[in-house]
Structure 1
Amino acid sequence: MLFRKRAKTNKANAVTIYTRIKEHPDVFRVENNLLFCNYCDLSVEWRHKSTVDSHCLGKKHLAQKKIYEANKNKKNQQSLETTLLAAESKKEVVESLIQAFANANIPLEKINYLLPFFKKYLKEGGAIPQAPTLRQLYLPSVFENHTKTLLSIFNSKPVCIIMDELSDDCARSVVNTLFAYRQDTKLISVNFLQWVNNTTIGQTLLPILHSYNISLNIPRLFLSDSAAYMKKCYRKVLKPVMPQLIHVPCPAHILNLIGETWRDFLQFLPLKTFLAKIKESFVKSPARRNRYITHLKMNGINSPRKIPLPNQTQWNSWF
């Protein structure tokens, strides 16, 4: 049985130009089968390792490497600054858009219908996010800036306090608190209360005054409607801690209360019946409402309006 000797591999023959690149990562590159230094932009003889190592340890190479890395870091820093500036510019545009929608009393979900328009006609309009993102990421900062603006106006000022309670679309009790100082009248707080009475109204107002650094001896005027709990809140809660405070009930509410008493008079029963029949006739028949508008136009009314119908939940609908 014959055995052949295994041929020895010549290590020098196994070395290639890519071997030198692996030995010095990110230092060299291959162009036309030549080894080029990335820092010096010079070709280097790659067949002998000592030649490559000598080049890498040379003063010129080290100096060029230092310059190259400094320029690279500067470029990365400039790119980061540019990105941050672009992000800050986008944030400013989006927050201004939210502020405009708020000033115009337009719900933010309406912006979803405008996104195709923004994307088509505005430069980088596609960067404006949808309504859920606006609420989650941008609206809090807009609200915070608005709160700071209100604080700068009413901080430690002798404000006039205006409070009113109403119901929203979800049948929740909403208490609106406004401050008036000189020419500025602003909505300060919106609170949702489970129970509305003299105690909860007082518990709502006093922390608001504290948050605006308004001492209890500063406010002079308290405006509200003529509801019994508002009057009791003034007598039992506010007046003891703010003796100088004067309560001014809303004149419109007083007139409305007077007007409501008229409906209880027996003499107004025919009028109540007459108005109820008119309301029933027009509410349940859109065609009849259209004929009414046409009748007004035919008789010289240039801008006819729908017939006013009484509503017990709206003030001044009877007088």
Structure 2
Amino acid sequence: MPKVKESNAAKVKAIVNEFKDFTISPTEKLFCQVCSCIVKHEKRFFVEQHLATLKHKKGIEARTTRSSALQQAFIHPVQLNDFTSQLVRAFASSVIPLVKVQHPSIRKLFVDLGKTVPSESACRQKVFELSEADNQKLLDKLSEKELFFVMDETHLRGKKFLHTLCGTLDKPESCFLVKCSVLDRSPNSQKIIHELDDVVKELKINTEQVNLLISDAAAYMCCAGKVLKEVYPKLLHVTCVAHLLHNCALKIKASYPEVDNLIAKVKASISKNRSRAADFDSCGIPPQPIVTRWGSWLNATQYYAERLPQVKEIVNAWEGEGVIVKSVKNSVNDPKLTSQLTEICLHYNNISNLILKMESCTYTIKEAHADLNALDFGKDPLELKNYIKKRLDKNDVKQIMELQRQDISPALYAKLQKCQPTSASVERSFSLLKSFLRPNRNFKDSVSNIPHYMKLYYNSGLK
């Protein structure tokens, strides 16, 4: 009977069983763990020749001369898991895809440091384990503490997300992402109520610990807040004061169409034309406001108020009869511009600076109440002062500052007044979420995994 030729996989397996320095690569080739390279295996001579190389001998020598303590820490399964955890946390908090652990340069780096690099699948499994471990840490951290919650939803890359953050009134400048929900449709008040109830149950906290809810002033959020205050006896609902001033900025924008037209036309004329943009080097590139960035439109009006003559000179010098050039020339030469820009500077120039101040996590309800009441818009042609007053009357900021509820202790009122009055922290979590939704990430068909990664990312400072 003729001899059956040994298969390639069988050859590799036999060598791996005989020599402990080798393993099987994902492509079923012979891989040297000491030298981090593929070795020919067709003949035993090739393997023996590699073992005799200077590079392999030095690698063996470096490995054997390590201290016994390091070897034990490396071999012991608990320590190996610790290294895998550290690796996964580092990658997740730096938004590095876990697929990068397969890159040869990454593997070589850790091998040179005396570490066995875990597989990608092991790292992915570790994400879920670490997420569960962090949940337990949160339970311990929030246990028996007076808490506040920040909630908001967003729409990114065709998906809807609802984030719930939680923090303690003892340290209101920091909060943690306790739930990232992927939604199939836009939330309503019932969804917000159920979401907060689910979080309270998951954190195993009692109703007396829920003291403050911070959100935007959307109708469904306000409706949910009213219902939740009946369920949680000490709950107060604060609508974001930064959103309030952003709405004021949008009212100003709608009331001065000529200024808005100028900003939009200049932005369109230079955004994709480097030569036109270069013409502004002498006075600075005009700001390009973003709708979702609070107060950015007002910052742009300040730029044109200070540099309108220079902008006119630059734009009028442009040659060509294109639609864009004609429209920007018409807008910059509008006779109403000077009076409108003057009026904005005279009455509403202080809003953008206050919005910037409110974005800080250390900004407090007490400071917000004082700053909003101290706002002076002069003649206030748009009656924004009345608009802010009406909004504050519906906001529990007023109740907190005027100590209106007798069932809340003075000590709790003091803590509430030191708490943050904006939802800037949850807006930052959405900015971080964009990193996981980039086109080059593989979450497109597995968005259910995103909450675990987001918790590791946002709560990376949790101890």
Give the 3 Å change call, closer, same or farther, for CA 308–161 of structure 1 in structure 2.
same
Give the 3 Å change call, closer, same or farther, for CA 220–112 of structure 1 in structure 2.
same
Instruction: Name which of 136, 144, 153 aligns with 1:165.
Output: 153
Once residues 83 and 311 of structure 1 are traced to their aligned partners in structure 2, the CA distance between those partners, rounded to angstroms, is 51
Verify: 1:273 aligned to 2:261, yes or no. yes
- What's 1:254 paired with? 244
Give the 3 Å change call, closer, same or farther, for CA 287–128 of structure 1 in structure 2.
farther
Once residues 190 and 177 of structure 2 are traced to their aligned partners in structure 1, the CA distance between those partners, rounded to angstroms, is 21
- 1:39-58 equivalences under 5 Å are none
Native 8 Å contact 1:198 1:229 kept in 2: yes
Instruction: Name which of 276, 279, 294 aligns with 1:315.
Output: 294
Native 8 Å contact 1:209 1:215 kept in 2: yes
Native 8 Å contact 2:212 2:236 kept in 1: yes
Structure with bigger gyration radius: 1
Identity %: 25
Native 8 Å contact 1:119 1:125 kept in 2: no
Aligned residue for 1:191, secondary structure, equals strand
Q: CA deviation at 1:112?
A: 4.5
- What's 2:341 paired with? none
Once residues 292 and 196 of structure 1 are traced to their aligned partners in structure 2, the CA distance between those partners, rounded to angstroms, is 47
Verify: 1:153 aligned to 2:141, yes or no. yes
Q: Deviations over 1:200-247 (max 9, x none)?
A: 111111011011121123211111111111111101x30121132111
Q: 2:131 is matched by which residue type in structure 1?
A: F
Q: 1:116 is matched by which residue type in structure 2?
A: S
Once residues 106 and 92 of structure 2 are traced to their aligned partners in structure 1, the CA distance between those partners, rounded to angstroms, is 20
- What's 2:182 paired with? 192
- What's 2:165 paired with? 178
Aligned residue for 1:262, secondary structure, equals helix
Q: 1:175 is matched by which residue type in structure 2?
A: L
Q: CA deviation at 1:257?
A: 0.9
Once residues 225 and 188 of structure 1 are traced to their aligned partners in structure 2, the CA distance between those partners, rounded to angstroms, is 19
Aligned residue for 1:192, secondary structure, equals strand
Q: Deviations over 1:254-280 (max 9, x none)?
A: 111111111221xx1110110111110
Aligned residue for 1:214, secondary structure, equals coil
Once residues 264 and 74 of structure 2 are traced to their aligned partners in structure 1, the CA distance between those partners, rounded to angstroms, is 65
Larger RCO, structures 1/2 (Cα 8 Å, 6+ apart):
2
Structure 2 unaligned regions, length at least 5: 1-71, 299-463
TM-score (norm 2): 0.44
Verify: 1:232 aligned to 2:211, yes or no. no
CA RMSD of aligned residues (A): 2.6
Native 8 Å contact 1:162 1:224 kept in 2: yes
TM-score (norm 1): 0.62
Q: Deviations over 1:48-68 (max 9, x none)?
A: xxxxxxxxxxxxxxxxxxxxx
Q: 1:144 is matched by which residue type in structure 2?
A: E
Native 8 Å contact 1:174 1:193 kept in 2: yes
Structure 1 unaligned regions, length at least 5: 1-81
Q: CA deviation at 1:186?
A: 1.1
Aligned residues: 222
Native 8 Å contact 1:156 1:212 kept in 2: no
- What's 2:200 paired with? 209
Q: CA deviation at 1:128?
A: 3.4
